[in-house]
Amino acid sequence: MTTPMLPVLIAGAGPVGCFIAYRLGKAGVPVQIFEKEAELPYSPRAVGYYGATQNVFQDAGLYELIRSEGFVTTGLCWRQLPTPNSEGGKSLGRMIAHQPLCAPGDTVRACPSGLLNLRQSELTKLLLREALATGNVSVSFSREVTSIEQKDDCVHIGLNDSPELHVTGSYLVGADGGKSRVRKILGTPCLGHTWPERLISTDVHLYNEVDPVYHTMYIMDTKNYTIMTPLTEPKVGQRSLWRCTIAIPPEDERTDDELAQEAAIQDLYEQVVPGPRPLQAEISTKTVYRIHQRLVTTMRKGRCVLAGDAAHLNNPYGAMGLNTGLLDGDALAEALLMVLQEGKSEELLTIYSDERRRVYQKFVDPTTTANKLRLHSPNAEAAAADDEYFRTLQNPTPEVLAELAKPYFEIWRTDMRALAEKFGL
């Protein structure tokens, strides 16, 4: 009689944990997810997925499903603050640069192109549903991973600080977010810095007066620089749901609670949101965040591996956090499958850690840092000429765009099978 395979344990039913569970479950590996909250949490965070992540969804057999629940937009633009118009409202600010993510006039936007949009909370529900449907994945809510004991051939975890609640698995994936308890238990430092600004992130219903063409808009300002991006497909002449994330400068001494007051948010909207006045902005969700640039010293300790925000954090200007986490998930699932099903060396988990840390250091960290700094450049007009990125985008020919897109396709995703071959594993 063969002994049944021990499950892979996953801390955290966030999007990264659920994606890894789906990939493993689909390949026949038993998985148990433990989520500390009583249900999947909602918070106004990620929404857009770039080409590399679309390819990962495609390879996992999920692209069409995600697209059918979401929608695709054409790309990004950078604008100055909205300006008063003759009707007493505010028009979209001058466009400093735009970065199409699909060819002009492309109405099909086949994978991988454009920005695929689906709210993180909806994506997580979809991923968990599909993971459970594999028949190999289970999820336990109100279960926090609180202790870890590693053996040569397995890992024991304790839950809810209760001596009665413990489980044994083959490996533990810490996909438990930025405040990762798994990371802390493992004693892995997460080094870097926290930016002095805070962000107030809101979901808000707004009237769509005009078509901005590039729907993900970075609005430049020295203090209250902003990202506006649609959460549901926007139609001109109708109201729809938008994510509006506004920076709060360090000198603003209001508490988080004061900032989250309706009147305080409406004051900020007055400056940064275009449209008729009085602005009819109906807020549905609001959260104040701190933002960081941080990376763990290793993503692997023995049989425990970290992925997503548990391993690295970046500011959200450029929308790269969850994309990077899902690309971690893609690489880690492949590495675990090679170890568990093909008998390959566990050394692959160290290679996973080294490669994903390198991707953060060489690509995600510098790109998101530059994206953020560019947005609060003291003179938006001058930035269009001074900043090489903006200067390049003044003439966005297909060749220029392909060159800019290169690292997003060539560096961001990690091919674990190619690495296994390279290292002779």
Ligand X SMILES: Cc1cc2nc3c(=O)[nH]c(=O)nc-3n(C[C@H](O)[C@H](O)[C@H](O)COP(=O)(O)OP(=O)(O)OC[C@H]3O[C@@H](n4cnc5c(N)ncnc54)[C@H](O)[C@@H]3O)c2cc1C
What residue ranges bind ligand X (CB under 6 A)?
11-17, 34-37, 41, 45-48, 120, 144-145, 175-177, 181, 199, 201, 245, 289, 308-310, 316, 319-323, 325
Record the tokens describing residue 372, joined without a space.
Answer: 């953020």
To the nearest whole angstrom, how small is the minimum distance from the Cβ of residue 316 to ligand X? 4
CA distance 42 to 296: 26
Q: Identify the H or E element spanning 195.
A: strand 190-207
Nearer Cβ to ligand X, position 248 or 420? 248
Nearer Cβ to ligand X, position 219 or 322? 322
CA 25-26-32 angle, 5° bins:
10
Nearer Cβ to ligand X, position 28 or 250? 250
CA distance 127 to 22: 7
To the nearest whole angstrom, how small is the minimum distance from the Cβ of residue 197 to ligand X? 12
To the nearest whole angstrom, how small is the minimum distance from the Cβ of residue 187 to ligand X? 15
Residue corresponding to tokens 């395979």:
5
Nearer Cβ to ligand X, position 20 or 97? 20
Residue nearest to ligand X according to CB distances in the complex: 14
Nearer Cβ to ligand X, position 30 or 174? 174
To the nearest whole angstrom, how small is the minimum distance from the Cβ of residue 37 to ligand X? 5
Burial 39-65 (b: 16+ CB within 10 A, else e): ebeeebbbbbbbbbbbbbbbebebbeb
Nearer Cβ to ligand X, position 114 or 316? 316
Nearer Cβ to ligand X, position 332 or 349? 332
To the nearest whole angstrom, how small is the minimum distance from the Cβ of residue 386 to ligand X? 27
CA distance 58 to 330: 11
CA distance 322 to 178: 11
Could you tell me the CA-to-CA distances from 78 to 100, 167, 349, 382, 394 in Å, in that order? 12, 49, 39, 13, 12
To the nearest whole angstrom, how small is the minimum distance from the Cβ of residue 99 to ligand X? 15
Beta-bridged to residue 83, according to DSSP, are: 91
CA distance 347 to 103: 41
Provide the pairing of β-strand 90-91 with 304-306: unpaired
To the nearest whole angstrom, how small is the minimum distance from the Cβ of residue 195 to ligand X? 12
Record the tokens describing residue 307, joined without a space.
Answer: 């992925």
To the nearest whole angstrom, how small is the minimum distance from the Cβ of residue 306 to ligand X? 9
Nearer Cβ to ligand X, position 93 or 321? 321
